[in-house]
Amino acid sequence: MNAVELLKEQHREVNALFRRFEKARRTDDKEEIFLEIAARLVGHDAIEREIFYPACEDVFGEDEALMEGIAEHGLIEFSIFRADKARGEPTFEYLVTVLKEMVEHHVDEEEEEVLPKMARKADAATLERLGKAMLKRFEDAMAKDFRRPLREDLQQVLAGRTRTTPPKRTARSTTRERTASAGARSKAGARSKAGARSGRATGGRRKQGARRASAS
């Protein structure tokens, strides 16, 4: 499936979930459906921000519709965050309705301008290659809880960034983590050995005291 077809399919899937949310009667059902909506939107955000939008810029540059779409992602993420925090509260359904309206607006503009333009200007091989990369990234995102990447993106948005990037674990930070972990294990081992030595010394003193008492 090429990139444009994949995005359109995901748009339809999220739209169907919003309809299910509106028809659901039980609060538990609504919250369960919302969690699926949130996870899919965060995964969708990742493949657009990290893969599709940069490819669009390479193909046809920074046009107005594309830049608006990028900016709208931050607003949608904030709406997801607010709705997730409001689960179990009276405002929950209203916040999900606001999220739905924002997503619908974003999808309409994207499908009217950005996707047709990319379909015209990018060759079939490029769209297929992008589609495969996007699907893999989406599956990776869906395998994890959506809240951590959502918070990380929002922190970048609140810091004034329009284009957010996923945090990278560098070799240096990984080495620091391993060193700290090894240090903690070493200290724990040293404390354990010291405790054992102290226990043996205490036991020895008790035996000596018992022998002296017996001799007297």
pTM recorded for the entire structure: 0.75
Count of CB atoms within 10 A of residue 43's CB? 22
Pick from 14-23, 63-72, 82-91, 98-107: least confident: 63-72
Residues 65-76: tens digit of each pLDDT: 999 999 999 999
Q: Do residues 52 and 117 lie in contact, with contact meaning Cβ atoms separated by under 8 Å?
A: no
Count of CB atoms within 10 A of residue 49's CB? 20
What residue segments make up the domains of the chain, in order of their start? 3-158, 170-216
| C-alpha of 113 from chain center | 27
Residues 165-174: tens digit of each pLDDT: 765 644 443 3
Whether the predicted pLDDT of 213 surpasses 50: no
Q: What is the mean pLDDT of residues 201-206?
A: 50
Q: What CA–CA distance (Å, rounded) separates 35 from 40?
A: 9
Read off the pLDDT band of 196 (50, 70, 90): very low
What percent of the chain shows pLDDT beyond 90?
68
Picking from 164, 142, 166, the residue whose alpha carbon sits closest to that of residue 74 is 164
Residues 35-53: tens digit of each pLDDT: 999 999 999 999 999 999 9
Whether the predicted pLDDT of 19 surpasses 70: yes
